[in-house]
Every structure is written in structure tokens, then in C-alpha cells.
């Protein structure tokens, strides 16, 4: 893949502008999410929404070949490194970029917190399925529950939040076969509701949650991880779907 990606103007926030400033440093949280999705992945992983590369590094540490992609060409260009890593720009509203990435022939697609930004989500997933064209598994994580939607979602450029049922429906309609779906991070979901809907801060910007993120990362990740088996069927901050072609 081309290791230098152009970055034409894109409506709405992209890349680093969609994240709280403290999020890239929340390493316990990232390791926790990775531990939940990595068992479903193969050896050639197309990562959609690589961002600052937290999950890219974990994939490479697991001796996987990785195609790290993002809509933000500046972020993508900073990821160039090991021989097992390829990089490219992808825009899920642009079929040509999806086709170019699919030509890398992944056996797995990992997409964390991207699909909620895409207005035509079914179309993007259908393009992906069409252009991959061979046996492949997709693991997507998105924000959960429209009741949690608030100023942080708007600031981050989210179009929607999903449930297990609605996310499964999107994949079904796009021609994927859904293998499983589940919620993650019940404590984070409760905290997001309080911060976003019940007690929003006076300054309603993403960085107003930085202290909350640091506290959660330091103290609460083990607790929410232990609660996942209890809540995975009915509540969490995020919802995961595992689907295949």
C-alpha cells in the first residue's frame, strides 16, 4: 500500500479531533478492549480507524501483519514503521478507498469506534464485503444506546449509537453473517450517561472528560472487566459485533 496518504478536506471532525485529549494515554482501557476483540482476529488484520496507533502496536506485538488505516492522513503517516505494518488512508464514504484497502486481502477487519461516524453505514459495510470478496471476519466496536447520546457524541461527530439488535441489523442488511454480538464496559456506560446527560459540565467539550478518563483508566478498568460477563447481554458503553463473509 502507499505509505504516504493525502488528506483532502472532510466534513465534520476527524482523527484526533474526535477524541478527548486524555484518551490516547488510557493504556489500561485500550488493553482491556483489545483483550476482548483480539481472540476473533486472524493473522492479516485491516485496522480501520488506527488513530494514534494504540491497537496497531498491540496487533504487531502479537506478530500479526497489519494494514493500519484512518481517514486522517496526518495520523496515518505517523504510523509507518515495522515491515509487518502497511498504511493507507481510508474513508468509509468513498468506495475507491475501501476497494484499495480490500486489495491487501485481509483475513480480518478490526474497526473500533468508527462506524458511528458514517451516515450510510450499511452502504459502507456492503462495499467492504463486495471488495474483500473472500473469507474474512469483521470485528466492529461502536458506542451503545441512543439514550446515552449527548454533547460528547455531538462533539466527536457521532451520527448515532447502536444496540446489539440495530448493529446486527446493519450487518445483516449489508450481506454479512453475524456470528456474535455483546456489550462491553457497563461502568463506562453509566459514567457516560451521568457526564453526558445527567450532570454535563458547564464547558461542554470533549476535553472536559479528561479527568474522568484518567480516573477510570487508573482505578475502574479491572472492575468493569470483571463485570462484563454479567452485563454483556444487556448493557455497556460499547457494543461489539463479530461477522463474517
| Residue 157 maps to a domain | yes
pLDDT band at 10 (very low <50, low <70, confident <90, very high): very low
| Residue 9 maps to a domain | no
Contact 139, 35 (CB under 8 A): no
Average pLDDT over residues 226-235: 98
Q: What is the CATH number of the domain that holds 167?
A: 3.40.50.150
| Residue 1 maps to a domain | no
Distance between CA atoms of residues 91 and 205, nearest Å = 25
pLDDT band at 3 (very low <50, low <70, confident <90, very high): very low
- Looking at residue 4, its pLDDT comes to 34
Nearest one of 192, 165, 197 to 181, comparing CA atoms:
165
Average pLDDT over residues 98-108: 98
| Residue 8 maps to a domain | no
Contact 63, 82 (CB under 8 A): no
| Residue 12 maps to a domain | no
- Looking at residue 211, its pLDDT comes to 93
Average pLDDT of the chain is: 93
Contact 183, 164 (CB under 8 A): yes
Average pLDDT over residues 31-49: 98
The answer on pLDDT for 188 being more than 70 is yes
| Residue 11 maps to a domain | no
Instruction: Give the count of domains, the chain.
Output: 1
The answer on pLDDT for 8 being more than 90 is no
Give the domain range for residue 169: 18-244
| Residue 6 maps to a domain | no
Average pLDDT over residues 8-13: 52
Other beta carbons less than 10 A from residue 82's beta carbon:
11
- Looking at residue 11, its pLDDT comes to 52
pLDDT band at 15 (very low <50, low <70, confident <90, very high): low
Q: Which residues contact 21 (CB under 8 A, 6 or more apart)?
A: 206, 207, 210
| Residue 225 maps to a domain | yes
Q: Which residue has the higher pLDDT, 1 or 118?
A: 118
Amino acid at each position: 500500500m502507499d505509505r504516504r496518504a493525502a488528506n483532502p478536506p472532510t466534513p465534520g471532525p476527524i482523527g484526533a479531533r474526535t477524541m478527548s485529549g486524555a484518551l490516547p494515554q488510557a493504556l489500561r482501557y485500550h488493553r482491556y478492549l483489545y483483550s476482548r476483540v483480539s481472540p476473533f482476529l486472524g493473522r492479516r488484520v485491516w485496522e480501520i480507524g488506527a488513530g494514534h496507533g494504540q491497537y496497531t502496536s498491540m496487533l504487531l506485538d502479537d506478530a500479526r501483519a497489519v494494514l493500519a488505516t484512518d481517514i486522517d492522513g496526518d495520523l496515518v503517516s505517523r504510523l509507518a514503521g515495522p515491515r509487518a505494518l502497511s498504511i493507507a488512508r481510508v474513508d468509509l464514504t468513498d468506495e475507491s478507498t475501501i476497494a484499495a484497502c480490500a486489495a491487501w486481502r485481509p483475513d480480518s477487519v478490526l474497526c473500533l469506534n468508527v462506524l458511528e461516524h458514517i451516515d450510510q453505514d450499511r452502504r459502507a459495510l456492503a462495499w467492504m464485503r463486495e471488495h474483500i470478496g473472500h473469507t474474512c471476519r469483521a470485528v466492529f466496536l461502536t458506542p451503545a444506546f441512543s439514550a446515552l447520546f449527548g454533547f460528547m457524541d455531538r462533539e466527536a461527530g457521532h451520527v448515532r449509537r447502536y444496540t446489539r439488535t440495530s448493529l446486527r441489523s446493519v450487518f445483516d442488511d449489508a450481506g454479512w453473517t453475524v456470528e456474535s454480538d455483546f456489550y462491553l464496559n457497563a461502568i463506562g456506560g453509566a459514567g457516560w450517561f451521568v457526564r453526558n446527560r445527567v450532570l454535563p459540565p458547564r464547558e461542554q467539550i470533549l476535553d472536559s472528560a479528561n479527568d474522568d478518563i484518567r480516573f477510570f483508566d487508573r482505578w475502574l478498568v479491572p472492575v468493569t472487566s470483571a463485570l462484563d460477563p454479567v452485563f454483556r447481554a444487556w448493557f455497556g458503553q460499547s457494543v461489539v459485533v463479530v461477522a463474517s463473509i
